[in-house]
Chain A
Amino acid sequence: MMEFFRFLGAGTRASFAKLGRATFFLVDMLSGISSVVIRPRLLLKQLYSVGVLSFLIITISGLFVGMVLGLQGFYILSRFGAEETLGVMVAASLVRELGPVVAALLFAGRAGSALTAEIGLMKATEQLSGMEMMAIDPIKRIISPRFLAGVLSMPLLAALFSAVGIIGGQIVGSGLLGVDDGAYWSQMQANLDFQGDIINGVIKSVVFGFVTSWIALFEGYDAIPTAEGVSRATTRTVVNSAFSILGLDFILTALMFGDN
């Protein structure tokens, strides 16, 4: 029995210690951003590998999600004779929820896991330690540019996801199922609020980008420097990012849309 409590206590202490390390890491990472601003070339390279290389998966997924929304929305809305509001339904669900959330989940799987594996392997092969001994701060040189790239790419990718999804919905809705093209777009324009829907979606995706990049980079930096350690860290990145994204989405939604 005592052993059980000891086990419980050790686990709790370890997770708080990790949270503490993650917080210190975040502070270092944020303070390293100033040196990234001076050297934008570091950022550009990361924007390419974190953002641009995620383009394809985001575009294709966005298209299919939009097409499914178009189909499902049409079947339900046509039952009430409201199929001309399909555009509102597709756009609102994408811009408010699916765009930021699904794009962030895909981002965690595509870019987050890659970041963790990269940083973890750099640690395992002593590249980070070597940099420290060359008097180059690896947080400033390696971590901060990747973090900033993640935070900047995420809202853009989410916007791309929503835009492609809306087109996908339109292809299915007006192309295949015969919803009026003009109604699709004009209903969307009339009923979507820039502040309430679009800006809130962007805020969500910025938060998700921040959290996902933080988790991915910290897990890599904190990984046990062995093959098994890096593989576990990569798994933890995807799992923890997914939990954080979905949990935070609920909280943010409650805060943003709670009073209307």
Chain B
Amino acid sequence: MDNLNSTQNSLVSVHNLTFSRGKKKIFNDISLEFERGKITAIMGPSGTGKTTLLKIIGGQLFPAHGSVTVNGRNVHHLKHDELYALRKRMGMLFQSGALLTDMNVFNNVAFPLREHTQLPESMIRSLVLMKLEAVGLRGARDLMPNELSGGMARRVALARAIALDPMMIMYDEPFTGQDPISMGALVLLIKSLNTTLGLTSIIVSHDVQETAAIADYIYVLSEGKVVGQGTPQEIQKSESEWVQQFMTGAADGPVHFHYPAKEYMDDLLHSEKPLFSRQRPPSDRNAKRRRYS
């Protein structure tokens, strides 16, 4: 009964998702729920496929198994036009901002409005200025993307993401590489946008403090599995070693400091040649050519 309620309440649900890249399983049968109007965070060490998850939810990547439903519709069963119609209601904030480099700030924010609506230019102007005001960059409207700092670029991208008044926003590592001030500004912005616009927010991040401060619910991922979930308080108190290592930032633990390798001594004592005669890295094409010439 509980489960049913949570499904009805959630805007995005991920069921039994499996996704592999090459031989590596990025996600192994995970299920996640993102409730309407809440901020849900997905946390985990780098390389656990957090960005991949956002791309799967946005329909840019296809899972091997499992389903993703957004607002009651299975993203990966939609036709091209239906998917695009759904995406108009999903905002996404890329890590790099992904601003169009040949347009200034104003035109970047106006871009989705001009592409998707027939609004008169005067109304587009008011809308863009309102969105820019919300992120505090109304005065920067004439700057080009290369004149913006990283934090400003991300805020412009945020203004662009809310330009079409979406029902949800996905944030890809919004805090990475930000100085404390712009970090604080972004934390505040994400929280206030969520409450004032009634958005559903999905944050993918490994910045523990900032994310825990604004998230309503947190999933901790590691090696393709959900290793912990709950409210920030529950997560802090979690007994799982994985979660504890992640939240406290210990260098070694269930997630090893070392990338899997052969025995250290073996590696040092043997020269490269015999090691590479059997398994050559695929990039080393010249070595192959030399052998057959």
Contact residues in B for A122 (Cβ distance below 8 Å): 101
Per-residue CB contact flags for chain A residues 1-32 toward chain B (1 = under 8 Å, else 0) read: 00010010000000000000000000000000
Which of A4, A132, A141 touches B60 (beta carbons < 8 Å)?
A132
Per-residue CB contact flags for chain A residues 104-145 toward chain B (1 = under 8 Å, else 0) read: 000000000000000000100111011011111100010000
Which of B90, B91, B98 touches A129 (beta carbons < 8 Å)?
B98
Whether A130 contacts B87 in the complex (CB less than 8 A), given A4-B292, A135-B116, A136-B112, comes out as: no
Whether A127 contacts B100 in the complex (CB less than 8 A), given A133-B87, A133-B90, A135-B84, comes out as: yes
Nearest A residue to B86 via CB reads: A135
Contact residues in B for A129 (Cβ distance below 8 Å): 55, 60, 94, 98
Which of B55, B87, B98 touches A135 (beta carbons < 8 Å)?
B87
Which of A7, A125, A137, A141 touches B98 (beta carbons < 8 Å)?
A125
Contact between B288 and A134 (Cβ–Cβ < 8 Å)? no
Which of B84, B101, B160, B292 touches A125 (beta carbons < 8 Å)?
B101
Nearest A residue to B80 via CB reads: A137
Contact residues in B for A133 (Cβ distance below 8 Å): 58, 60, 87, 90-92, 94
Contact between B112 and A134 (Cβ–Cβ < 8 Å)? yes
Which B263-293 residues sit within 8 Å CB-CB of chain A? 288, 292
Q: How far is the CA of A134 from the CA of B115 in the complex (A)?
A: 10
Interface residue total, chain B, C-beta cutoff 8 A: 27
Contact between A125 and B96 (Cβ–Cβ < 8 Å)? yes
Cβ distance A138 to chain B, nearest Cβ, rounded Å: 11
Does chain A have a CB within 8 A of B25?
no
Please indicate which of the listed interface residues B84, B98, B288 has the most CB atoms of chain A within 10 Å of its own CB.
B98
Q: Is the interface of A mostly helix, strand, loop or mixed?
A: helix
Contact residues in A for B242 (Cβ distance below 8 Å): none
Contact residues in B for A137 (Cβ distance below 8 Å): 84
Nearest B residue to A126 via CB reads: B98
Cβ distance B160 to chain A, nearest Cβ, rounded Å: 8
Contact between A127 and B85 (Cβ–Cβ < 8 Å)? no
- What are 9 contact pairs spanning A and B, CB under 8 A? A125-B101, A127-B99, A127-B101, A129-B94, A132-B87, A133-B60, A133-B87, A134-B87, A134-B160
Does chain A have a CB within 8 A of B62?
no
Nearest B residue to A142 via CB reads: B100
Contact between A141 and B115 (Cβ–Cβ < 8 Å)? yes
Per-residue CB contact flags for chain B residues 14-57 toward chain A (1 = under 8 Å, else 0) read: 00000000000000000000000000000000000000000100
Cβ distance B290 to chain A, nearest Cβ, rounded Å: 13
Does chain A have a CB within 8 A of B138?
no
Q: How far is the CA of A125 from the CA of B86 in the complex (A)?
A: 24
Cβ distance B53 to chain A, nearest Cβ, rounded Å: 14
Cβ distance B285 to chain A, nearest Cβ, rounded Å: 9
Cβ distance B27 to chain A, nearest Cβ, rounded Å: 19
Contact residues in A for B157 (Cβ distance below 8 Å): 130
Cβ distance A214 to chain B, nearest Cβ, rounded Å: 22
Per-residue CB contact flags for chain B residues 74-116 toward chain A (1 = under 8 Å, else 0) read: 0000000000111110111011101111000000000110011
Nearest B residue to A4 via CB reads: B292
Please indicate which of the listed interface residues A126, A137, A141 has the most CB atoms of chain B within 10 Å of its own CB.
A126
Q: How far is the CA of A27 from the CA of B25 in the complex (A)?
A: 33
Contact between B88 and A126 (Cβ–Cβ < 8 Å)? no
Contact between A135 and B92 (Cβ–Cβ < 8 Å)? no
Nearest B residue to A128 via CB reads: B98
Contact residues in B for A134 (Cβ distance below 8 Å): 87-88, 111-112, 115, 160, 164
- Ranked nearest first, the 5 interchain pairs of A and B with the lowest CB-CB distance are A130-B98, A135-B87, A126-B98, A133-B92, A135-B84
Contact between A7 and B111 (Cβ–Cβ < 8 Å)? no
Contact residues in A for B92 (Cβ distance below 8 Å): 130, 133
